[in-house]
Structure 1
Amino acid sequence: MSLKLVLATRARRLLHSAVNRGWEWVQRHGEITPSTLGRRRFAHFGEGACIGFPTGAIYGEPWISIGDHTLIGTHCTISAGFVPGLDLGPDLVVRIGGSCSLGRGTHIVGHQSIVIGDDVFTGPNVYITDQNHSYGDLEVPIGRQWPENNPVEIGDGCWIGTGAIILPGTRLGRNVAVAGGAVVRGEFPDNCVIGGVPAKILRHHDPVEGWLPPMRPRTPSVTKEEFTMLSVCGHEGLQVMQDRLREETAGILQERLREDAQGLNGNGLNGHTLASENGSPAA
């Protein structure tokens, strides 16, 4: 290998390392946190909250409230009003509760009222809006027709899967799971699983009978109190959670293998039967 090629290879490696370290520095210092000046633009920016960098479009901050310990991923858009600089009145337009986690690329586009409760988690690229265009005049392009607002409420503890769309007028109860890719409009009760286009209830929890249809029973390897403690213990807590989940998953797989083996034996699919089906004489 020539000296010129060796030097070029080393230069590329150094440049690669410098670019990555530089980008990490930019991301770290571009975040909006309670210790940065960017938090002053918001009606409320809670303790321990963070908006990752690079952001999407963020404007109308005086009408946006973000709760304590809420984490908002990179490339997220959070807006209030049509464009920056408008007076939107005395009330908040977008209210995001505490301890939420919004996946990267999520859009929250508010014009009247979007209320997101505490402990709401979303996957990437979720879209939530309280405004849509009407379609009353066939002679006017849809995008130029007068818009309609309808408030959105998302209850505490909801989980919204990747790519879901929450349309104006949606009201989700507490602990509602929304399947990825669902298009949601309407009201849904507490403790249910919804999905589809348009979204409908796929599973719900009955106070007497439990989950309908039933779920596979599962006992977590940690108590609720232990999980809460681990989730706030930083890197060490996350490592413990990772190890516990690995052990738990291995146990689940072993249990399923045992169940499958018992099912095969119960159906008479033992070695003799399988040999006969394959054309070999049974012993």
Structure 2
Amino acid sequence: MSIARTLRGHGKRAVSRALHRGWQVVRAAGTITADSPGLLRFGALGAESRFAFPLGAVFGERAIHIGTGTLVGEHASLSAGLVPGQELGSRPIVTIGDRCTIGRGSHIVGHQSIVIGDDVWTGPYVYITDQNHSYADPDRPIGLQWPINDVVEIGSGSWLGAGAIVLPGARLGRNVVVAAGSVVRGTVPDHSVVAGVPAKVVRRYDPTTGWHPPLRSLPAEIPEGITHAELEALIAQAESVAAGAGGAESVAAKAGGAESVAAGATGAESVAAKTAGAESVAAKAGGAESVAAKTAGAESVAASPPGPESVAAQAPDRDHDPAE
């Protein structure tokens, strides 16, 4: 590799690192909070609430009220009214409670009234609106017909999965779960799970008999009054413990494997010993056969005295001294 090519490689890596570090600085500086709202002037933006940078479309913010400790993800759009600069009066049109999390790329589009309670979490790309197109006149293009508004309410403690859509007139109770990709309209009772298009109740909670149908698993209890940051730390700790348990099981499995190998080795040694014993027995048997053969030979010799030629063949060579 040439020196010029090496230098180009180092230069590209340096530029990449500088770019990413610079982007981190820009993101931190562009975060919207009550203390650093940028060019936005919200009707209310509580302490410790923030919009991650970069933002989506945000306008009509004077009619948007947000509580404390709420996080709005990157590229999320919040709007009140049809267009920027529209006169909306003094009442709030979009209200988001305390400790909410609005997922990345979500849209909350208010024209009349959208009220989101406390501790509501949404996945990414959730769409909530209180306005819909009208198609009553069959001879007029739908986009040119006056839209229809209806109030939207989302109860405290609810959770909306990724890609869920909440239509005008929807009223969700407390602690409602909306499955990912569902389209919600109408009234949803407290402590229920809805799914589908249109969304229907698939599970409900009864104070006397519990969940119907029953839950497949029971989650761990979360301490009362925990903050978002504390919850993230708790989840990280639980994942770490789970990973450690998995590692312990792996070590145990490996130990078991080692014991199995040792047992196999012992078994092999036992087989070898048995084989050696068999060979020893065979050898002894062979020895016995040899002795028997020799005995038979002696008997044969005794039965047939050697002839003169045999005796001459067995006589030592006189030209060769055995001592040499």
TM-score, normalised with respect to structure 2: 0.72
Partners of 2:227 and 2:37 in 1: CA distance: 31
- Which structure has more relative contact order (CA 8 Å, sep 6+)? It is 1
Q: Paired residue for 1:135?
A: 135
Q: CA RMSD in A?
A: 2.0
Question: Which amino acid counterpart does residue 113 of structure 1 have in structure 2?
Answer: S
Q: Paired residue for 2:34?
A: 34
In structure 2, stretches of 5+ residues that fail to align are 247-324
- Report the secondary structure of 2:9's partner residue: helix
CA contact (8 A) 1:39 1:45 kept: no
CA contact (8 A) 2:177 2:194 kept: yes
Question: Which amino acid counterpart does residue 124 of structure 2 have in structure 1?
Answer: P
Q: What does 1:195-214 correspond to in 2, within 5 Å?
A: 195-214=195-214
Question: Which amino acid counterpart does residue 145 of structure 1 have in structure 2?
Answer: Q
* Aligned residue pairs, count: 246
How has the CA–CA distance of structure 1 residues 203 and 65 changed in structure 2, closer, same or farther, with 3 Å as cutoff?
A: same
Larger radius of gyration: 2
Q: What does 1:127-206 correspond to in 2, within 5 Å?
A: 127-206=127-206
Question: Which amino acid counterpart does residue 241 of structure 1 have in structure 2?
Answer: I
Please state how far the C-alpha of 1:229 moved relative to its aligned partner. Answer: 4.1
Please state how far the C-alpha of 1:250 moved relative to its aligned partner. Answer: 8.5
1:175-212, CA deviations, whole angstroms, 9 ceiling, x for partnerless residues? 00000000010001100000100000010001111100
Please state how far the C-alpha of 1:35 moved relative to its aligned partner. Answer: 1.4
Please state how far the C-alpha of 1:20 moved relative to its aligned partner. Answer: 0.4
1:215-245, CA deviations, whole angstroms, 9 ceiling, x for partnerless residues? 124251x5523xx447444xxx744431224
How has the CA–CA distance of structure 1 residues 223 and 77 changed in structure 2, closer, same or farther, with 3 Å as cutoff?
A: closer
Question: Which amino acid counterpart does residue 91 of structure 1 have in structure 2?
Answer: R
CA contact (8 A) 1:105 1:125 kept: yes
Deviates more, 1:237-246 or 1:46-55: 237-246
How has the CA–CA distance of structure 1 residues 176 and 219 changed in structure 2, closer, same or farther, with 3 Å as cutoff?
A: closer
Asked whether 1:63 is paired with 2:63, we answer: yes
Partners of 2:217 and 2:165 in 1: CA distance: 30
Please state how far the C-alpha of 1:249 moved relative to its aligned partner. Answer: 8.5
Q: Paired residue for 2:237?
A: 243
Identity across aligned pairs (percent)?
A: 50
How has the CA–CA distance of structure 1 residues 223 and 88 changed in structure 2, closer, same or farther, with 3 Å as cutoff?
A: closer
Partners of 2:193 and 2:112 in 1: CA distance: 27
Please state how far the C-alpha of 1:142 moved relative to its aligned partner. Answer: 1.0
Q: Paired residue for 2:286?
A: none
In structure 1, stretches of 5+ residues that fail to align are 253-283
Q: Paired residue for 2:103?
A: 103
Q: Paired residue for 1:224?
A: 223
Partners of 1:125 and 1:223 in 2: CA distance: 26
Please state how far the C-alpha of 1:93 moved relative to its aligned partner. Answer: 0.4
CA contact (8 A) 1:70 1:98 kept: yes
- Report the secondary structure of 1:41's partner residue: coil
Partners of 1:216 and 1:249 in 2: CA distance: 23
Please state how far the C-alpha of 1:70 moved relative to its aligned partner. Answer: 0.2
Please state how far the C-alpha of 1:247 moved relative to its aligned partner. Answer: 3.6
CA contact (8 A) 1:76 1:105 kept: yes
Partners of 1:39 and 1:155 in 2: CA distance: 31
- Report the secondary structure of 1:157's partner residue: coil
Partners of 1:124 and 1:229 in 2: CA distance: 23
- Report the secondary structure of 1:112's partner residue: coil
- Report the secondary structure of 1:204's partner residue: strand
How has the CA–CA distance of structure 1 residues 119 and 219 changed in structure 2, closer, same or farther, with 3 Å as cutoff?
A: closer
Partners of 2:78 and 2:177 in 1: CA distance: 22
TM-score, normalised with respect to structure 1: 0.82
CA contact (8 A) 2:99 2:228 kept: no
Question: Which amino acid counterpart does residue 128 of structure 2 have in structure 1?
Answer: I
CA contact (8 A) 2:70 2:101 kept: yes
